[in-house]
Amino acid sequence: MIRRRPLLAAAGAALALPARAQADWPNRPLRLIVPYGAGNVTDVVARLLADDLGTRLGQNVVVENLPGAGGTIGTAALVRAAPDGYTIGLVAKAAVAVIPQMMRNPPYDPLRDLEPLGPVVVTGGSFLTLHPSVPATSVAELVATVKAGNPSPFFYYSAGSGTFPHLNMEALRLHLGFAAEHVPYRSSAAGLADLLAGRVHATLDTAIITAPHIQSGRLRAIAFTADRRSPILPDVPTIAEVVPGLDLSSPWLAALGPRGIPPAVLARLQAAIRASATALVPRLPANVEPDSGTPEEFGARMRADHARFGPLIAAIGLRLD
């Protein structure tokens, strides 16, 4: 027994090290991965979050932009990071629920490899927006006129295949049974320019993009995708009002980590992120709202969104490789 005591003592010390590391967390700066370029909505929210989170945790939170492949490059880097609570990410819904399902060999399994730390924000709804040349003032009239061949073909734009304006319009088209041709652009700005010129006929792009031109009368809105009417255009009905049973998606931004963060660190990180998300409310960009859900509720939403988009992606044959 005497000979075994040093071995037992060494084993006990080794077991104590992770516990001590958890108790000391955080004792160095954190890294916040943003899987998108600088200056977009995700990046703006991430920098606000990093500021507030750093104050709460007593450590700097350094934002690192890792853009590319629809957010999957940065998200894959997050998955590969050590699950010690020092690397987190602010990831958009598409990189979790959509893009991996469009890839034959995705670099991660979002439901297996990512730890929900908490929802941060959701972006507001989108207007179903028409060029004035389309003779429709409601969704029912739009379906009727398109089926009658006015216009034919009926073109709508998005900022790229697999974006929510694309997927939402496809879901609407399939649900109501009308034909529409998708025209993907490299940016919303390019698509909007062609919509204003009448070269395409419609979009479900975010209200941030279209609302000023709807308000000026250059475009017409016939429905709104959020669960309540927009305060800026309250006369425009929601999709739920005019197409009962159809639930179109609004994007979210969520704080995620690599799976396997120690429970004590995970609990502190989730609590701090939830407090920061609440504190950000006065500083959020237009059309971006806080999400007050718990990490557990958000994990359920991740799974539901993943299940929702799989059949739609298969139905329209959407593939990136």
DSSP of 276-320: HHHHTGGGPPTTEEE----HHHHHHHHHHHHHHHHHHHHHTT---
- Is residue 14 in a domain? no
Residue 182, pLDDT above cutoff 60: yes
Least reliable range by pLDDT among 78-92, 238-252, 283-297 = 283-297
CB atoms closer than 10 angstroms to residue 252: 23
What pLDDT, on the 0 to 100 scale, is given for residue 14?
A: 40
Q: Say yes or no: 77 and 213 in one domain.
A: no
Overall average pLDDT of the 112-129 stretch: 88
Residue that the structure tokens 């690599």 belong to: 258
Residue 286, pLDDT above cutoff 60: yes
Q: Say yes or no: 40 and 102 in one domain.
A: yes
Residue 29, pLDDT above cutoff 80: yes
Residue 236, pLDDT above cutoff 90: yes
Domain that holds residue 85: 30-123+250-315
What pLDDT, on the 0 to 100 scale, is given for residue 212?
A: 92
Contact 251, 92 (CB under 8 A): yes
What pLDDT, on the 0 to 100 scale, is given for residue 1?
A: 42
Contact 41, 288 (CB under 8 A): yes
Least reliable range by pLDDT among 84-98, 206-220, 251-265, 276-290 = 276-290
Contact 89, 74 (CB under 8 A): yes
What pLDDT, on the 0 to 100 scale, is given for residue 8?
A: 43
Residue 221 belongs to a domain with what CATH number? 3.40.190.10
Overall average pLDDT of the 221-227 stretch: 92
The residue type found at 2 is I
Residue 7, pLDDT above cutoff 70: no
pTM as predicted: 0.78
Write down which residue in 192, 210, 242 finishes a domain.
Answer: 242
- Is residue 309 in a domain? yes
Write the DSSP symbol of residue 237: P
Q: Say yes or no: 281 and 307 in one domain.
A: yes
Residue 267 belongs to a domain with what CATH number? 3.40.190.150
How far, in Å, are 122, 188, 274 from residue 290 at the CA level?
6, 24, 10
Residue 19, pLDDT above cutoff 70: no
Q: Say yes or no: 85 and 100 in one domain.
A: yes
Describe the chain by its helix, strand, coil percentages, rounded to 5.
Answer: 45, 20, 35
Give the pLDDT band (50/70/90) at residue 18.
low
Q: Say yes or no: 181 and 238 in one domain.
A: yes
CA 297 to chain centre: 16
DSSP labels, 123-157: E--BEEEE-TTS--SSHHHHHHHHHTTSSSS-EEE
d(CA 229, CA 214): 15
Between these two residues, 282 and 235, which has the higher pLDDT value? 235
Overall average pLDDT of the 10-14 stretch: 42
What pLDDT, on the 0 to 100 scale, is given for residue 89?
A: 97
Residue 320, pLDDT above cutoff 90: no
Give the pLDDT band (50/70/90) at residue 178.
very high
Q: Can the peptide bond before residue 151 be classed as cis, meaning omega within 30 degrees of 0? A: yes
Give the pLDDT band (50/70/90) at residue 168.
very high
CA 54 to chain centre: 23
What pLDDT, on the 0 to 100 scale, is given for residue 111?
A: 96
Q: Say yes or no: 234 and 131 in one domain.
A: yes
d(CA 237, CA 127): 10
Structure tokens at 110: 């979002």
- Is residue 256 in a domain? yes
Which residues neighbour 267 within 8 Å (Cβ) at sequence distance 6 or greater? none
The radius of gyration of the chain's CA atoms, rounded to the nearest angstrom, is 23
d(CA 299, CA 271): 15
Q: What's the length of the chain?
A: 321
Residues of the chain above pLDDT 70, percent: 92
Write down which residue in 212, 242, 272 finishes a domain.
Answer: 242
Domain count, the chain: 2
Average pLDDT, the chain: 88
CA atoms within 13 A on the CB side of 117: 38
